[in-house]
Amino acid sequence: MTNEKLKNIKKVELHLHLDGSITKEYVKNKYKLSNEEISNKMVASEKCKNLNDYLECFDFPISIMQTEQELKEITINLLNNLKSQNVIYAEIRFAPQFHTKKGLTQEDVLKAVLSAKDCVDIKSNFILCVMRGKDNMDENYETVNLAKKYLGKGVCAIDLAGAEAIFKTSEYHEIFEYAKKLDVPFTIHAGEADGPKSIKDSISYGAKRIGHGVRAIEDDILLQEIIKEGIYLEVCPTSNIQTCICDTYSTHPIEKLYRMGVKTTINTDNMTVSNTTLENEYEKLLEETNLEIEDIINMNINSINAAFISNQEKEKLMEEIKK
């Protein structure tokens, strides 16, 4: 498969963090940093100690995403980047509570990000992250309320993100009960730094999509439930290798999960922190596993079916994929 053919594939990205995907070019031009400085601040090593080590690369991006202008510029920059990769639909996630250090409210942050949507001709929606952590539940509830207010107006769901092994998924039952009462859809980071129990908890809350979820491979009963219930996994291979879930693309569980009938999707997680693109993810999987181009296309179809959009919107995206 040539790079040109991979580039021309119509792509869907469901698991993409805004703060982890600020392009190096934007930072270089805006803040006059050298390539080495940018790499040191924003790109994780190929093998981190763990997820927490990986998450340290978000400190600098978050520090510069504190004004309406920067938030809008960074979002436009990412949308243009996605369009150049032939992405036809993207769900981009971020935590509004992380961008209020200079006086913006969570709603100010969201409005700034949403103002970028009409500046680039690409279909996109935003997922608002509630965060694992200490003493931030008020902020998390504010985020859920904000998601409800802007649902269908550029926001499509909420997510739970952060240090999964330290702040267990089981601690966040009430926030998802609240989201369900408000009819706010959700996905949950689970089965990455923490094991199958995290995924089980997420499914028990009603999650139909799991961020990462690859450690389901450790539990046969859980796998059968995921297959039976049609749960979608937002798989991010390069990121998983960096955070030591697996050693290589060839040993990554995505192929086994896919062959078993799990509805897998391929995503980048953080294009800059993980130094990757969707094309790169496809290329690595095609080179180092037995997956073929038809499997990659099938997983893009899975992504469309998993998307937090209407059936009519899904049908239009399916037509583009089939072209």
Catalytic center residues: 192
Characterize the bridge pairing of strands 123-131 and 87-94.
Answer: parallel
Q: Which bin fits 141, alpha (ψ -120 to 50), beta or left (φ > 0)?
A: alpha
Backbone φ, ψ for residue 209 (5° rounding): -135, 140
Backbone φ, ψ for residue 232 (5° rounding): -95, 140
Query: What is each CA distance from 242 to 106, 246, 273, 274, in whole angstroms?
Result: 31, 8, 10, 8
- Which residue in 269, 251, 261 sits closest to 231, CA to CA? 261
Characterize the bridge pairing of strands 232-235 and 209-212.
Answer: parallel
What would the two tokens of residue 154 be? Answer: 């550029």
Q: Which bin fits 97, alpha (ψ -120 to 50), beta or left (φ > 0)?
A: alpha
Q: Do the Cβ atoms of 20 and 273 come closer than 8 Å?
A: yes
What would the two tokens of residue 280 be? Answer: 């790169």
